[in-house]
Amino acid sequence: MDISKAPNPRKLQLCRTYFMTGFALLPFVWAINVCWFCEEAFRKPPYPEQAQIKRYVIYSAIGTLVWTIALISWIIIFQTNRAAWGATADYMSFIIPLGSA
Amino acid sequence: MTLPEFFGCTFIAFGPPFALFVFSIANDPVRIIILIAAAFFWLLSLLLSSLLWFAAVPLRDVLVFGVVFSVLFQECFRYIIYRILRSTEQGLHAVAEDTRVTENKHILAYVSGLGFGIISAMFALVNVLADMSGPGTMGLKGGSEFFFITSAAQALSIVLLHTFWSIIFFNAFDTNNYVHIGYVVGTHLFVSLLTLLNADGYYWATLLPNYIVTVLTGAIAFKVAGGTGRSIKRFIMCR
Amino acid sequence: MAPQKKAAAIWLLLFLQSTATVFSERTRDKMYEPILGASCFRRLNGTHQTGCSSTYSGSVGVLHLVNVDADLEFLLNSPPSPPYAPLIRPHLFTRANLLRLKEAGPKIISVVLLINRTDKMKQFSHELNCPNQYSGLKLNRSMSETATCDASGNVANTWNRWGTGLLHEDFPFPIYYIGEDKDIFKLEDCFEKFNNFNYESHALRSLCAVEVKAFMSAAVNSEVCIRRTNFINNLGGSRYCDPMEGRNVYATLYPRNASENVEVNVAGSEKFIIVSCRLDTTSMFDGLGMGAMGSLVGLAILTQVAHMLRLLLPSPGALSDRQRNVLFVVFDGESYDYIGSQRFVYDMEHLAFPSPSTHTAPISLENIEFILDIGALDDVANIKLHTLTSTPLANQLLQQLNRYAKSPRYNFTVNIESNVGYHIPPTSAQSFLRYDPKLPVLILNSVPSNRYYHSIYDDLENVEFTYANASKDYTTLADIGDTANIFNSSALQMGVRNVSSIVAMTLYEILSGKQYQGSLVANPLLADEFFYCFLQSSDCPLFKAASSPNSPAGPQQPPMRYISVQGGSQESSGWTYRMLGYLLSHPQPAVSKENCTQLPLFFFAGLNGTGECRLTTQNYTHALSPAFLIDNYDWRSGDYSTWTESTWSLLSARIFLRPSNVHEITTLSIGIVVFIISFCLIYIISSRWEVLFEDVPASNAA
């Protein structure tokens, strides 16, 4: 759907729905929200709902950032320590590399 | 063949066709459809050739038989696609957003020729490229290290030749220029039969005449499509 | 004009080509040449991984023939175009050299090829100096190493003084053994043609290289790979490693009474003399290694002892004590921490031997009168009788053995001495002694002189075996002088005859209570047939006689005697089972073929292949280490064997030309240049194409 053709209250509603859905441990929804409504929130000429959209977009961006940092650090920690953790790491993995520790 | 060789050969063979596709085909849906249709017709000709090869059991080991008939089938299908395109011109004119396709008849010829060429080069090279996945190169049991790079160059020349041939061929049927038709079929046979020399490792003996024919054919196609020495001059001088 | 010329050229080409037929050939077939051989693979125990593995896609190295040590120095110190794959001859395949190659790392040495050029080889054994060092008898429980061999002391006193221990090393590169001359020539040719000149320019030209694919799935140790295999998240069900397992074969001299109520009659009054030896052998390479001297001689002697006792004492009526019986046991997997005997003792301890399915009463360790274990008899003329302590039984047995060994009547020329103490050979008996050092265990073993113990070269040449192929009846006993014209007195067959006769006569005396007075001795023709079957071809008279009449002939190769894993061939235990069954069975002429289908009755082909029904006593027991049965077993405890074998998908090798970096980079750069130039050119043309094609021809104007 073309977001620019939707009426303003509909935009706000969409943005809020996406923001709320993100709380279900779905950081990608936040990321999409940021991409999708970035232009609406910051570039478009002002309209009444814009302030709220802007707020949702900023909160979504913060959420995405936190998730990204958390995921990246976990991946680094896990990959560097997987061999050392032994059985514990095996129980956390679905795919265990062949032929190495 | 190793990964660098694989990419090197792929770039050589399919780099120029890719550039042609990007700049002259990709932005017009009608051209893409025609390109794919042409490729499909080439595949049909391959199917017929292989059926013939399969049926003629005693001649299976005689490559030259297959080559000659394959060339003839390809030219037949070039004619079929010519007839189809000419008969659908009105319809194309109605649906095309970019009317140049129908206004300049050489564009149709060029697009279908490129489709022929790309699929033909793919079939020529993909078997070779598929065997490149290992760590080795040619040369243990005869053959030369340059086998892959010559194969790629050969494939490139096939793409270009098919494009030029189509332009000449379409125009020749439009103008009843039988010498040009003969030239197209003749050079196609000549180039295809030349590749048989590769079996004995005469890579330069095939590649050099091949490119001479390519340049010659390119020149004829250029002329047919409306280019002149004067226009080249103007093009270079940027006027 | 032009078309005419072209037509002429085409017809010329047509003519040329039609004279020669062209064979379709894949590009790959022109690039690669397969090399046949055997690969080293990965085995794991409770704490380590041993053996070798290639990288996932296969290890590639440039061939380099190593003739002298200096060639190795060249590769290690100044390799011009690493990684390399040295072609090593057996005499240079030493521990020192291999460890240096290992140290250099897979960036320098990526593959090692061992070629079958044995002219300078003096010894070749990859087993440890103390085989089964950590699983033998222990002095006290706190020590981890066996008390019966000291690896840190004088090597000459160990049980395998020529051992390099490479079988227990972990290598970062695959090791591939090439046995056939044809393949060795291919490698040497390729090396001479492409590599063996102008070493400075190695980096600039294409070199002959080898790729070995031997990727192993398992890693670290048995605990890790078993855990990963049984892991609930292992959705693909991929196996990382399999426990080594096989089958022990046992047979009794007399059939035991079937008892329906097996639970009650546990100890009973039955008395067993156990005569045992080992079945298996091992080597570094998959599918190779016959263990001729290392373990086959012992099996031959056990077979002959069983056969001779069966003929001398056809029924229990001849015994002084009718409750006595002889239990012949052949243990599998003894090369890997006594898998077979550990399990046997474990089963006896838990009253699980024989299995309830045999409907016979379990035999416990109390039922054992004594155990006579036949170890490695490298020198069949000089044998030692090992015991832990000096016992009356041992003294009596030694005296009896020597009476027959030294008897001028038989002229056996075998010297048997006693050896009391902890210096006990690494044989199955150690599992019994480890369970209880007080068990009456006697071991026949000679001073080790096998320079090829547990290696691919412990073959028929190592035991100097030549098949006499006498085509005579080998199932009867022979008179002393009967076979003198067939066998030289120093032949292997005669040596085996001597030892087995002595042992069988001694056991006869113990069982019947009277001295053996006869002139018949074991038949060297049986030993001849035995060794032919196990060393040269499974398609042999003895195996044929021991099969059912219509069964297909065995393969032309000797049976593989490595224990392997579940689903492995288990050829050797199968043949041993049938052979012992045949030689120990009693003919039942009254039973017809139709009624002879249910064990213990079995219809054998027999000596002349016509078929005969016989009452058999043989059976299998499972040779799988108890470590895999016990829940939450502590893998590091060292109580039981924990050996597993990694799984793999492919073992193969091929040679080809490896392109030089220069060639690769040139090709890639040409490609990129063509790509970029064509992009620029076509962009310019397409942006200004109206300029180029200004003159629209007449045909288009229409």
Q: Where are the domains of chain C?
A: 32-232+650-661, 245-624
Locus of tokens 């003919």: C587
pLDDT over threshold 50, residue C18: no
pLDDT over threshold 70, residue B186: yes
Are the Cβ atoms of C667 and B149 closer than 8 angstroms? yes
The minimum CA-CA distance between C180 and chain B, rounded to whole Å, is: 20
* Amino acid letter, B200: D
* Residue in B129, B152, B134 with CA at minimum distance from that of residue C658: B134
Percent of chain C's residues with pLDDT above 70: 92
Using the Cβ of C635 and the Cβ atoms of chain A, whether some distance falls under 8 Å is answered with no
Hey, what are B84's tokens? 């189809």
The beta strand positions in C14-126, using DSSP E, are 33-35, 38-39, 43-44, 49-52, 59-66, 84-88, 112-115
pLDDT over threshold 50, residue C3: no
pLDDT over threshold 90, residue C668: yes
Determine which of C246-250, C357-361, C571-575, C577-581 has the lowest per-residue pLDDT on average.
C357-361
User: Residue A98: phi, psi to the nearest 5?
Assistant: -80, 145
The mean pLDDT of C440-449, rounded to a whole number, is: 92
Q: Which subunits sit against A, judged by 3+ Cβ pairs under 8 A?
A: C
The minimum CA-CA distance between B186 and chain C, rounded to whole Å, is: 7
The boundaries of the domain holding residue A51 are 25-82
Percent of chain C's residues with pLDDT above 90: 47
Instruction: Provide the pLDDT confidence category of residue C701 given band limits of 50, 70 and 90.
Output: very low
Contact partners, residue C88, CB within 8 Å, separation at least 6: C66, C97, C112, C113, C114, C115
The boundaries of the domain holding residue B51 are 2-236
Burial of C226 (C-beta count, 10 Å sphere; 0-12/13-18/19+): buried
* Residue in C499, C473, C470, C471 with CA at minimum distance from that of residue C484: C470
Chain B residues closer than 8 Å to C695 by CB: 226-228, 231
User: Residue B160: phi, psi to the nearest 5?
Assistant: -65, -45
Q: Do C424 and C433 contact (CB within 8 A), yes or no?
A: yes
Instruction: Provide the pLDDT confidence category of residue C16 given band limits of 50, 70 and 90.
Output: very low
Residue of B nearest to C668 (CA): B8
Q: Do C414 and C498 contact (CB within 8 A), yes or no?
A: yes
Mean pLDDT estimate for chain C: 86
Residue of A nearest to C48 (CA): A101
> Which residues in chain B (72-131) have CB-CB distances under 8 A to chain C?
104-106, 127-128, 131
pLDDT over threshold 90, residue C95: yes
pLDDT over threshold 90, residue C441: yes
Query: CA-CA distance, B137 to B1, in Å (whole number)?
Result: 4
Query: CA-CA distance, C415 to C380, in Å (whole number)?
Result: 9
- Highest mean pLDDT: which range of A3-12, B58-67, B150-159, C148-157: B150-159
pLDDT single digits (tens) C344-362: 999 999 988 888 888 888 8
The minimum CA-CA distance between A91 and chain C, rounded to whole Å, is: 7
Instruction: Provide the pLDDT confidence category of residue C629 given band limits of 50, 70 and 90.
Output: very high
pLDDT over threshold 90, residue B239: no
pLDDT over threshold 50, residue C10: no
What's the pLDDT score for residue C700? Answer: 40
* Amino acid letter, C81: S
Mean pLDDT estimate for chain A: 89
Contact partners, residue C232, CB within 8 Å, separation at least 6: none
Task: Count CA atoms closer than 13 A to C462's CA, side-chain side.
Answer: 30
* Residue in C341, C347, C353, C361 with CA at minimum distance from that of residue C248: C341
Question: What strand order describes the sheet that includes C601-604?
Answer: C586-587, C612-615, C601-604
Q: Do C194 and C55 contact (CB within 8 A), yes or no?
A: no
Query: CA-CA distance, C593 to C552, in Å (whole number)?
Result: 19
Q: Which subunits sit against C, judged by 3+ Cβ pairs under 8 A?
A: A, B
Are the Cβ atoms of B19 and C675 closer than 8 angstroms? yes
- Highest mean pLDDT: which range of A64-68, C13-17, C77-81, C264-268: A64-68
Instruction: Provide the pLDDT confidence category of residue C140 given band limits of 50, 70 and 90.
Output: low
What's the pLDDT score for residue C688? Answer: 81
Contact partners, residue C700, CB within 8 Å, separation at least 6: B104, B105, B106, B226
* Residue in C258, C225, C261 with CA at minimum distance from that of residue C243: C225
Are the Cβ atoms of B190 and C9 closer than 8 angstroms? yes
Hey, what are C443's tokens? 């071991």
* Amino acid letter, C405: A
Q: How many domains does chain B have?
A: 1
User: How far, in whole angstroms, is CA C34 from its chain's centroid?
Assistant: 24
pLDDT single digits (tens) A34-73: 998 888 888 888 888 888 899 999 999 999 999 999 999 9
What's the pLDDT score for residue C7? Answer: 45
The minimum CA-CA distance between C234 and chain A, rounded to whole Å, is: 7
What's the pLDDT score for residue C143? Answer: 60
What's the pLDDT score for residue C274? Answer: 94
What's the pLDDT score for residue C4? Answer: 46
User: Residue C316: phi, psi to the nearest 5?
Assistant: -60, -15
The mean pLDDT of C241-267, rounded to a whole number, is: 79
Hey, what are B89's tokens? 């011109």
pLDDT single digits (tens) C184-209: 999 999 999 999 988 888 888 889 99
Could you tell me if residue A94 is inside a domain?
no
Mean pLDDT estimate for chain B: 87
Contact partners, residue C678, CB within 8 Å, separation at least 6: B15, B16, B19
pLDDT over threshold 60, residue C1: no
* Residue in B232, A21, B97, A73 with CA at minimum distance from that of residue C691: B232
pLDDT single digits (tens) C498-548: 999 999 999 999 998 888 888 888 999 999 999 999 999 999 989 989 988
Hey, what are A76's tokens? 């680094």
Chain B residues closer than 8 Å to C658 by CB: 135-137
What's the pLDDT score for residue C263? Answer: 55
Q: Do B191 and B120 contact (CB within 8 A), yes or no?
A: no
Burial of C204 (C-beta count, 10 Å sphere; 0-12/13-18/19+): middle
Hey, what are B83's tokens? 């007839």
pLDDT single digits (tens) B22-50: 998 888 888 899 999 999 999 999 999 99
What's the pLDDT score for residue A90? Answer: 86
Query: CA-CA distance, C199 to C347, in Å (whole number)?
Result: 62
Question: What strand order describes the sheet that includes C170-171?
Answer: C170-171, C49-52, C43-44, C644-646, C241-243
Query: CA-CA distance, C332 to C426, in Å (whole number)?
Result: 14
Q: How many domains does chain A have?
A: 1
Alpha-carbon dihedral sign for residues C176, C180, C182, C185: positive
Q: Do B68 and C27 contact (CB within 8 A), yes or no?
A: no
Using the Cβ of C551 and the Cβ atoms of chain B, whether some distance falls under 8 Å is answered with no
Are the Cβ atoms of A86 and C224 closer than 8 angstroms? yes
Considering only CB atoms, A90 lies closest to which of C231, C238, C646, namely C231
What's the pLDDT score for residue C362? Answer: 87
C245-624: CATH topology is Aminopeptidase (3.40.630)
Chain A residues closer than 8 Å to C56 by CB: 98-99
pLDDT over threshold 80, residue C690: no
Helix/strand/coil for C363: coil
Could you tell me if residue A31 is inside a domain?
yes
Please give, one letter per residue, the 3-state secondary structure of C438-498: CCCEEEEEECCCCCCCCCCCCCCCCCCCCCCCCCCCCCCCEECCCCCCCCCCCCHHHHHHH
The minimum CA-CA distance between B37 and chain C, rounded to whole Å, is: 23
Q: CA dihedral defined by C604, C306, C508, C346, rounded to 10 degrees?
A: -120
ipTM of the complex: 0.90
pLDDT single digits (tens) C206-222: 899 999 999 999 988 99
What's the pLDDT score for residue C25? Answer: 66
Report the 10 Å Cβ neighbour count for C537. 17
Hey, what are B132's tokens? 């490149």
Hey, what are C624's tokens? 């799988």
pLDDT over threshold 50, residue C699: no
